[in-house]
């Protein structure tokens, strides 16, 4: 199994590349749930929905989230009735949250819901939430502590970030199968996702980092930082706030204890010696995923360096 640690938009696009170069039923994504939150009494799982909808081919490609061609009638009425409208949920998108909430209230686990949704939408990649427990990510800012989506969407990532509180609801356990998937993987890929708020919550689950260090599978990351900037989202202020350098080298350092190799962008080629000095393999390529060909090429490079980077275990 090719196991991919995944956040939202960047991971979803990367997975579109992976399934072009490997059979989709041999790929499992372990998906961040730190962005999950409740709104309108509904359980929203942004990263699971982004990955599911992208692989199902129904994503709004321009935004990277939401359903293509969705309408907003419900949102407009929610606004008229005085409900919060800062998090845009299209009518079809709302169906996911209504159904998920009903299934969870009926006793299903998030893992079961994720599996039923991906099957219903014809996704062959197995999608496993990182945890079945609530594990919200909070951002500590000069203006107070906020759930990640409040910081990122409602407050437009404008507050000065001072830190991050992962699993803010209390201890969370890895979902069933997460540790075993890492232990028995052929390859583990860390998608080009935010290392602090997308991959960080997965790594902070008990046993996950240890499993990544111990697995016999090569572990290869793709840097989401290109030329010192994030491809998408607020990675730079968040990385700085937790003491990471906002560069591909900073990403390599953050994962160095379990990583065998990292794929970095060609604009960061000069970082290669410093990353190699950490004991990691480096592949330098174009990591900007403009279309299907670039996505496939990036996945091919990540899998190729994996085959020459064996973990000592």
Which residues contribute to the site for ligand FO1 (CB under 6 A)? 7-9, 35, 46-47, 49-50, 65-66, 87-89, 93, 149, 152-153
Burial status of residue 234 (CB atoms within 10 A of its CB: 0-12, 13-18, 19 or more): buried
Backbone phi, psi, residue 245, to 5°: -75, 135
Give the CB-nearest residue to ligand FO1.
8
Find the shortest distance in angstroms from Cβ 41 to ligand FO1: 16
Burial status of residue 61 (CB atoms within 10 A of its CB: 0-12, 13-18, 19 or more): exposed
Nearer residue to ligand FO1 within complex by CB, 88 or 165 = 88
Contact yes or no for 169/102 (Cβ under 8 A): no
C-alpha 284, offset from chain centre: 22
Nearer residue to ligand FO1 within complex by CB, 232 or 300 = 232
Report the C-alpha gap between 13 and 29 in whole angstroms: 12
Find the shortest distance in angstroms from Cβ 269 to ligand FO1: 28
Find the shortest distance in angstroms from Cβ 257 to ligand FO1: 24
Find the shortest distance in angstroms from Cβ 198 to ligand FO1: 6
Alpha carbons within 13 angstroms on the beta-carbon side of residue 107 total 0
Nearer residue to ligand FO1 within complex by CB, 88 or 310 = 88
Nearer residue to ligand FO1 within complex by CB, 35 or 260 = 35
Contact yes or no for 18/1 (Cβ under 8 A): no
Find the shortest distance in angstroms from Cβ 84 to ligand FO1: 11
Nearer residue to ligand FO1 within complex by CB, 89 or 275 = 89
């Amino acid at each position: 199994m090719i196991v991919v640690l995944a956040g939202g938009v960047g991971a979803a696009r990367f997975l579109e590349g992976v399934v072009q170069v490997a059979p989709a039923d041999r790929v499992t994504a372990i998906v961040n749930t730190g962005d999950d939150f409740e709104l309108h009494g509904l359980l929203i799982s942004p990263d699971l929905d982004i990955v599911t909808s992208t692989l199902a081919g129904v994503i709004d490609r321009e935004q990277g989230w939401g359903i293509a061609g969705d309408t907003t009638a419900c949102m407009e009425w929610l606004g008229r009735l005085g409900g919060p409208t800062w998090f845009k949920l299209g009518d079809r998108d709302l169906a996911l949250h209504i159904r998920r909430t009903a299934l969870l209230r009926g006793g299903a686990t998030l893992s079961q819901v994720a599996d039923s949704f991906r099957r219903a939408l014809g996704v062959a990649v197995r999608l496993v939430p990182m945890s079945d427990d609530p594990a919200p990510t909070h951002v500590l800012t000069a203006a107070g502590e906020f759930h990640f989506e409040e910081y990122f969407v409602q407050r437009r990532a404008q507050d000065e970030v001072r830190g991050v509180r992962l699993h803010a609801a209390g201890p969370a356990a890895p979902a069933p199968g997460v540790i075993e998937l890492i232990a028995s993987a052929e390859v583990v890929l860390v998608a080009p996702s935010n290392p602090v708020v997308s991959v960080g919550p997965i790594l902070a689950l008990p046993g996950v980092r240890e499993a990544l260090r111990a697995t016999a599978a090569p572990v290869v990351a793709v840097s989401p930082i290109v030329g010192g900037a994030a491809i998408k989202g607020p990675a730079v202020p968040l990385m700085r706030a937790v003491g990471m350098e906002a560069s591909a080298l900073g990403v390599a350092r953050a994962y160095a204890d379990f990583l065998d190799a990292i794929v970095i962008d060609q604009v960061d080629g000069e970082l290669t010696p410093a990353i190699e000095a950490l004991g990691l393999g480096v592949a330098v390529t174009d990591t900007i995923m403009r279309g299907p060909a670039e996505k496939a090429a990036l996945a091919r490079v990540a899998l190729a360096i994996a085959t020459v980077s064996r973990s000592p275990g």
